[in-house]
Amino acid sequence: MLKRIKDKIYKFRGVAAGFLLATVCFVSIQASRQDSYFEVSKNLDIFNNVLKELNTFYVDPIEPGRLIKSGIDEMLATLDPYTNYITESDIEEYEFQTTGRYGGIGANMRKAEDKIFVGDIHEDSPADKASLHPGDEVISISGKEVAGKSIDDISILLKGSPGTQVSMKVKDVFTGAVEEKTITRSEIELSSVPYASLFGEKKDIAYVKLTQFTPHCSRLVKNQLDSLKKLQPNLGGVVLDLRNNPGGLLNEAVNVCNLFIDKGQLIVSTRGRVKEWEQDFKTTLQPWDTKIPVTVLINGASASASEIVAGTLQDLDRGVIVGERSFGKGLVQTTRPLGYNARLKLTTAKYYTPSGRCIQTVDYSNRNADGSAGKVPDSLKKEFKTASGRKVLGSGGVEPDVKVTDDPPSKLAITLYVKNYFFDYATVYAKKNNTIPPAGQFAIDNATFTDFTGWLDKKDYSYKTETEVRLDSFKSAAIREKYFADIENSYKDLEAKLKRDKKQDLEKHRKEISQLLESEIVSRYYYMRGRAEHSLKDDKQMEQAMVLLEKPSGYQAILKKPAN
């Protein structure tokens, strides 16, 4: 009897202790929340009072909207680069970035010195139907002279509700005639799947380029795959190109995975501080094909939703990833209304692929003493396993199964691109040539390359190599430390040896220069789909993806369960 009484006393003490601990924790949490609310309330009062004082007593008139935006932007800059304040005036640009749609004429503009020129034109857009050409000079828009205006100013003048009209006075690049054009705006939707085709010796490999995860993009990918399968019922594989794809909608990433993965499979999980952001996203549709071999192309500019697709197919051993390590963005953003048509896009969660890894590269929660955020070192990256037991790492983007590094652009190519010389010469070329071969076959000949280099003779495309930049720094340091007089002759000899002949540089980088020039010329005849098609010429990463699909033994060897 005594033992039972003691047991009850101990049990009561345990329950009481547990209750007391829970009560203490609850009170602590509540106190913490109250402290947080008080801090927010106190500092909002201070901020409000500062603004009132400035508005009343500052020596010059102030712009409250500009000051507040600056304050909010600086505040958000201490968090991560994906948490942003979106003002009412920025909403249209934000909607375009997330949906690929806007109201306008379907052409972008370029600025050279103080003049504005028509840039790329989208196929079948109002600008295309109004016979605007890349290279046309824009003189005025809706009666307003455009000389000296910024590209942002021009964009505001051109955008508007579908069905409204905008007048443009332009100088035709081909005829030189100045003409007033009235263009009816429409809803412009840039296709997130600009190009798809069959490749390989047997024309049995389906290639699909996906540039962004916009609404319904998974349906576009499926439609293209259906069309290619209709042309070639015996498809041997699929190449999904996600290079330079910055991401977009998470649900569309799930749906793209669903094309190759059975219904009911976990694709990605999100976890945040608030319980409502903790979700599991599973496939909900019947797949397009669960057996066909798949290769996914990625590079350092493949981010977010692109990494969900690549990481998930890798984790489930459903595809082979080819290319370069992806960007490493494992954060999920949600848009919240702020009133007055303003919004806050903020990071609410991290996402995790089926193996449990988060591929976020930069740790924004633990900043260095100078305020910068550092990457997770390789030594601290956790190891995870794919469905078959292959090792994959978290905290650093998606590492490809087959690494194929693309050649970085030369300084010469960057200089010619930035100065618009590829664009300008393509305008000259289009004046002289009514047609060119198909985009995938087009190549400039020796005569055209010679003509281009001759055309460049009177242009300034000087640039400095990394060696020359370092030599300049060395000279500055030597002068500062008073050593330069002793080494001046040696310095001049070295400087002379580094002087380059521009013609030699053009010849040295002939292949790269030719490809960039061809791409610009192709766009004049075949629009953005032509650029996408032409870009696959001499593409090392695409070639490797094709090798894997055309030789299934190599593909299967990569996905095989590792030996113990």
End-to-end CA distance of the chain: 59
DSSP code per residue over 475-507: HHHHHHTT-HHHHHHHHHHHHHHH---HHHHHH
Q: Which two tokens stand for residue 327?
A: 């960007």
Structure tokens at 28: 């602590």
DSSP SS3 for 336: strand
- Coil vs helix vs strand at 267: strand
Per the DSSP assignment, residues forming a β-bridge with 141 are: 144, 168
**Counts of helices then strands in the chain (DSSP H, E):** 17, 23
User: What number of other Cβ atoms are within 10 A of residue 552's Cβ?
Assistant: 12
Identify whether the C-beta of residue 122 lies closer than 8 Å to the C-beta of residue 527: yes
What pairs with residue 178 in β-bridges?
Answer: 171
C-beta of residue 192 within 8 angstroms of C-beta of residue 209: no
- Residues labelled catalytic: 304, 315, 329
Q: Both tokens of residue 81? A: 């680069």
Q: Would strands 115-121 and 107-112 be described as parallel, antiparallel, or unpaired?
A: antiparallel
Q: What dihedral angle (degrees, nearest 10) is formed by the CA atoms of 544, 545, 547, 551? A: 140
List the one residue out of 318, 309, 295 whose CA is nearest residue 546: 295
CA 501 centroid distance within chain: 36
Neighbours of 353 (CB within 10 A): 28
Return the number of other C-beta atoms located less than 10 Å from residue 168's C-beta: 24
Please write down the HEC assignment for all residues of 275-318: HHHCEEEECCCCCCCCCCCEEEEECCCCCCHHHHHHHHHHHCCC
Indicate the SS3 state at residue 523: helix
**Distance separating alpha carbons of residues 226 and 2, to the nearest angstrom:** 79
Measured between alpha carbons, how far is 226 from 204 in angstroms, rounded to an integer?
A: 13
Sign of CA dihedral 305, 309, 314, 320: negative
CA angle 507, 407, 445 (to 5 degrees): 35
Burial of 89 (0-12, 13-18, 19+ CB in 10 A): exposed
Question: Can you state the angle between helices 540-550 and 552-559, rounded to 10 degrees?
Answer: 90
Report helix angle 421-432 to 446-456, nearest 10: 130
269's enclosing H/E stretch is: strand 266-271
540 with 243: CB under 8 angstroms?
Answer: no
Q: Which residue bears the tokens 């508005």?
A: 55
